[in-house]
Amino acid sequence: MDYQHKLRVESSKWDSVATKYAPTFRAEINDFHRHAEHTIWGRDVSAFLGPLEGKRVLEIGCGLGRHSVLLAKSGALVTAFDLSLNSVSAAHERAAMNGVSGKVAFNVAAAEALPYADASFDVIFGRSILHHLEVYPTLSELHRVLRPGGKAAFIEPMGMNPLLNFARAHLPYRHKNPRGADRPLTYGDIEAWCQGFREVHYVEHSLLGMLERAFGFGHHFTALRKTDEFLLQEFPGLKRYCRTVVMRMVN
């Protein structure tokens, strides 16, 4: 799939998703750090990023703007963009609903050519976005706009579990988004995205815990999460079959 066609596919896909889900918005009661406490990935990211008050944060692929709002409610000065015009419009509405419009600036843009100055940001954050993008032009842009010593954190789907890949392609489950040009990450992809950063850490999450996703977002099964902690510690070879990877980098 050539690049321009990929942009059209992804833009159309997320325009459709935005139209479907924008009417379901509600005010957020948490900020980013309190929200992160309830997610599988959150403690890693929250501890790594630390206090966000006054930090210049770029969210890449903001979608409907939930994390943009949460970051702003933690005191960050947020710039966020998405390829989808409908998504950016919905994110504007969400920010206004949550009273943080003055702390978030939204743009329609592609990650491979960012409209921001060099070293503009202290933090870059992305949730389920890298696997939609072209690695090398985007990676160059991330290094360019992140200040030296700045932090980047991404939560991404992994693509090395054949049963999970089958479910993504063929099985229905709640809040499942249509497949576009996305490609969940392999270890080779993860290593490619980490190139050029001074410090790199990544942690795999959600082995049996991936069953939560079949029930939709917001379902937490403590027993599954604790079982995952044991299995992944005792049998590290199982990590490749996890659903999610958290990537933490320092520029």
Domain count, the chain: 1
Q: Give the other-Cβ count within 10 Å of 25's Cβ.
A: 17
Q: What is the pLDDT of residue 24?
A: 78
Q: What is the pLDDT of residue 181?
A: 66
pLDDT above 80 (res 81): yes
Distance CA(121)–CA(219), nearest Å, equals 33
pLDDT above 80 (res 5): no
Helix (H) or strand (E) holding 67: helix 66-73
pTM: 0.91
Q: Looking at 17-21, 72-76, 121-125, 236-240, which range is the least confident one?
A: 17-21
DSSP class per residue in 97-146: HTT-GGGEEEEE-BTTB--S-TT-EEEEEEES-GGGS-HHHHHHHHHHHE
- Reading the block at residue 127, the tokens are 């949730």
- Reading the block at residue 60, the tokens are 């890449």
Q: What is the pLDDT of residue 113?
A: 95
pLDDT above 70 (res 179): no
* Confidence band of 174 (pLDDT split at 50, 70, 90): low
- Reading the block at residue 96, the tokens are 């206004």
Torsions phi, psi for 4 (to 5 deg): -65, -40
Q: Are the CB atoms for 71 and 94 separated by under 8 Å?
A: no
Q: Strand pairing of 146-157 and 244-250?
A: antiparallel
CA triplet 98, 99, 101: central angle to 5 degrees?
Answer: 105
User: Span 75-84, mean pLDDT?
Assistant: 96
* Confidence band of 164 (pLDDT split at 50, 70, 90): confident
pLDDT above 90 (res 223): no
- Reading the block at residue 158, the tokens are 């992994």
pLDDT above 80 (res 214): no
* Confidence band of 99 (pLDDT split at 50, 70, 90): very high
pLDDT above 90 (res 230): yes
State the residue for tokens 């159309």: 12
CATH of the domain at 213: 3.40.50.150
CA triplet 32, 34, 39: central angle to 5 degrees?
Answer: 85
State the residue for tokens 């082995």: 207
Q: Looking at 40-54, 70-84, 186-200, 219-233, which range is the least confident one?
A: 219-233
* End-to-end CA, the chain: 31
pLDDT above 70 (res 180): no
| Owning domain of residue 77 | 3-250
Q: Is the torsion defined by CA of 211, 242, 224, 177 positive or negative?
A: negative
